[in-house]
Amino acid sequence: VSGHIDLSVGSVAGFVGALAAMMMVIWPLGPFSNPLVVSIICLIVGGLIGAAQGYWIAYHRIPSFIVTLAGMLIFRGICQALLGGGSSVGPLPVGFKALSSGFIPDVIGSLTLIPPVVNAAGKTIVGSGLTLHMTTIVLGIVAVVAYAYFGLRARRSRERHGYQAEPFSLFVVKTLVTSALALFLVYQFATYRGLPIVLVVMGVLIALFVFVTKRMTVGRRIYAMGGNAKAAQLSGIKTERLTLMVFINMGVLSALGGLIIAARLGQAVPAAGLGSELDVIAAVFIGGASAMGGVGQVVGAVVGGFIMGVMNNGMSIMGVNVDWQQVVKGLVLLGAVVFDVYNKNKA
């Protein structure tokens, strides 16, 4: 969207995960080894990495492809050096692993619809009964209501300003289908252990960035810069500072991704995040972003990420060899970019 590309996200994620593991397991840092403190420090480190890369791109006009390619090599090497070559560091504390495998607490309380069955020995049969995680239910309902409200508000705003809006019947059907699917997923989570913490983090980030890109001036300026940086600069937009902010944001998000990867694995490994930058680029283009910049949406990128995830898991379940998986992903990426360029030339 901003007209730049970041090839270092996978390596930065791997480096931050390794740094977090070293701080919690190897280095005796006392209170600074607390998982929460370590996470905050790692996010700050990610922001500093993004600022360093953004500085060269924004103020020295070095292409982002070159700077982030250098960053990819540098931080992959530092990651391997931290971990001593090919070794892994772990296990990580349980509190830290909750970032990936934990669930939100049920602060409201559970609701038992069907009591569990107890056998003759007085033990509860696993899987019997039906209990709902009510905090998950309430959060799901609030999210669906907010989605419908803001969707209707955006539609009325377009009509009020004279822009063409989709037919009301189509809007209602789309809202109902999306809400029904969301409530079904919420129900499935509620019958288990509730919403995963990582899903809540992702939902908050999606909502935040949708708000920034659609409702805030800085979001519109990023689109303007991506569409035509020279015109944006002539119109008074400080493109250098905006580019620096974009890469600081990328660094923080890459660091967060590295923490989640390390928490999911329960340890830091040298190959963490390897090739993730290619999956990210493919997901963004599949989600509708333009290779030229200035076009794309947050939700589209998320959908592209889901498509890539389903494709990766599907091919693994089907037993497709890793080499052919790379071929398929490459063809999908090429097809998405060709489709984008074709539509742009046609317009």
DSSP assigned state of 93: P
Predicted pLDDT of residue 233: 86
Predicted pLDDT of residue 125: 61
Residue 126 banded pLDDT, cuts 50, 70, 90: low
Task: Show Cβ contacts of residue 126 under 8 Å, excluding neighbours closer than 6 positions.
Answer: none
Query: Are 10 and 274 spatial neighbours (Cβ–Cβ below 8 Å)?
Result: yes
Predicted pLDDT of residue 44: 96
Predicted pLDDT of residue 62: 92
Predicted pLDDT of residue 338: 80
Predicted pLDDT of residue 294: 80
User: What is the average pLDDT across 246-275?
Assistant: 91
Predicted pLDDT of residue 121: 64
CA angle 275, 212, 136 (to 5 degrees): 75
pLDDT in tens, 52-111: 999 999 999 899 999 999 999 999 999 999 888 778 887 888 889 988 888 988 888 887
Residue 140 banded pLDDT, cuts 50, 70, 90: very high
Query: Are 258 and 12 spatial neighbours (Cβ–Cβ below 8 Å)?
Result: yes
Domain residues of the chain, as ranges?
1-102+232-273, 105-195, 275-347
Which of 13-17, 60-64, 125-129, 304-308 shows the lowest per-residue confidence on average (mean pLDDT)? 125-129
**Residue 147: how many CA atoms within 13 Å on its side-chain side?**
22
* Residue 235 vs residue 53, higher pLDDT: 53
Predicted pLDDT of residue 215: 84
pTM of the model: 0.86
User: What is the average pLDDT across 285-303?
Assistant: 82
Give the best-scoring range by mean pLDDT among 46-50, 109-113, 338-342: 46-50
User: What is the average pLDDT across 228-255?
Assistant: 91
Predicted pLDDT of residue 66: 93
pLDDT in tens, 142-180: 999 998 998 888 888 888 877 887 888 888 999 999 999
> What percent of the chain is predicted at pLDDT more than 90?
33
Predicted pLDDT of residue 51: 95
Predicted pLDDT of residue 256: 94
What 3-state DSSP class applies to 43? helix
Predicted pLDDT of residue 59: 92
Phi-psi region of 67 (alpha: psi -120 to 50; beta: other; left: phi over 0): alpha
Query: Are 104 and 85 spatial neighbours (Cβ–Cβ below 8 Å)?
Result: no
Residue 250 banded pLDDT, cuts 50, 70, 90: very high
Predicted pLDDT of residue 193: 83
Residue 29 banded pLDDT, cuts 50, 70, 90: confident
* Whether the predicted pLDDT of 124 surpasses 70: no
Query: Is the torsion defined by CA of 66, 12, 58, 336 positive or negative?
Result: positive
